[in-house]
A = this chain, B = another copy of it.
Amino acid sequence: MAVRLKDIAQDLGVSTITVSKVLRGGTDISEATRERVLRRVQELNYRPNMLARGLAGGPTGTMGLLVPDLVQPFFAEFAKALSSLLREHDLALILASSEEDPAIEEREIRALVHRGVDVLLLASCRESLLDLPALGVAPTPCVLFDRSFRGVDAAFVGLDEVEVGRLATNHLLEQGCTRVAHIGGKATSPAVGRLEGYCQAVRQHGLVLPAAYVHSCGHVEEGGFDTGFEAMQALLALPVPPDAVFCYNDMTAVGAMEAVLRAGLRVPEDVAVVGCGNFRFAEYLRRPLSSIDQNVAELGRIAGTMALALAVDAQAPARQVLLQPRLIARASSLRRERG
């Protein structure tokens, strides 16, 4: 049987309460006892029983992470960074997946909260999160990430998605492209933000582009390749096809490139392409893919830090952090000598 609070207390001739207080940083403890307790805790390598602690009303030392799809590199990297950080604090991570299904997401939220996670980290696939309290989340504090929601007063970490759209589109325009299209997503905040950035960049360059240059596709997350492939085919079939395209993510971009190549056209000479995500294979593709780097590891670390703060004090002010994206230019978009 593992070492218990009681064992330490008996060894030292004090009560369990005293030990408990020391462990949780109580102030009303003499420096002498505190040291004695801590030493013994070290010696016996005592670890609190989190089940008991949780049951008695304390924290469970557990955080819940709910993502739409762990196989997407974005979420895998996020989970890895978060997990690294939590390990340093002896916290455990309960992982759940919504499979991009709001009904599953709701069930999983309830399950995690019911299990007593100290904080919930959520990349929601719902349309609105206004009913988050109704989902029974409170009083469990919550850190949203990747996808933000209007009118929800929760901590949030994500990318400056408008800047993502601007970066990609400006880059394409600067490469001399004049007919830039966008294959984007639907409804989610990243999709909306990237589209907005795209529009801003186009406007700033004094261009007016056909509405048909914007494709807003559902399921762009999972169906990436096919979505990109089909959207690009449609774009190429326009009377005046685009000479560049900014794609919602890298897989979509791969699909789009494939469509361009199969149409007998060249990348980037006929159609320049920029993706988003900057996955590890971007530079080894048939045509090395320019992409927007999302700095996911940093995102995970920030989200984790926020979560830690909320675990200590659930009432801590809900910060909103936006990270700046970076463009990684590769052959798929570089039309000029030396970029």
Contact = CB atoms under 8 A, between A and B. Distances in A.
Interface of A: 2, 47, 49-52, 54-55, 60, 62, 65, 69-71, 73, 76-77, 79-80, 83-84, 87, 90, 92-97, 99, 104, 108, 111-112, 114-116, 225, 251, 254, 257-258, 279-281, 284-286
Given A251-B280, A254-B284, A96 B116 contact: no
B93 A96 contact: yes
Contacts of A285: 281, 284-286
A97 B76 contact: no
- What copy number does this chain have within its complex? 2
A285 B287 CA distance: 8
Contacts of A115: 50-51, 92
Contacts of A49: 55, 114
B80 A69 contact: yes
A38 B92 CA distance: 33
A65 to B, nearest CB: 8
A87 to B, nearest CB: 7
Contacts of A114: 2, 47, 49
Contact of A76 (B52, B70, B87, B279): B70
A223 B172 CA distance: 32
B111 A51 contact: no
Given A76-B71, A284-B258, A96 B87 contact: yes
Contact of A96 (B2, B60, B69, B92): B92
Contacts of A95: 65, 79, 83, 93-95
B97 A94 contact: no
Nearest to A279: B281
A52 B50 contact: no
B92 A111 contact: yes
A71 B60 contact: no
A339 to B, nearest CB: 20
A137 to B, nearest CB: 14
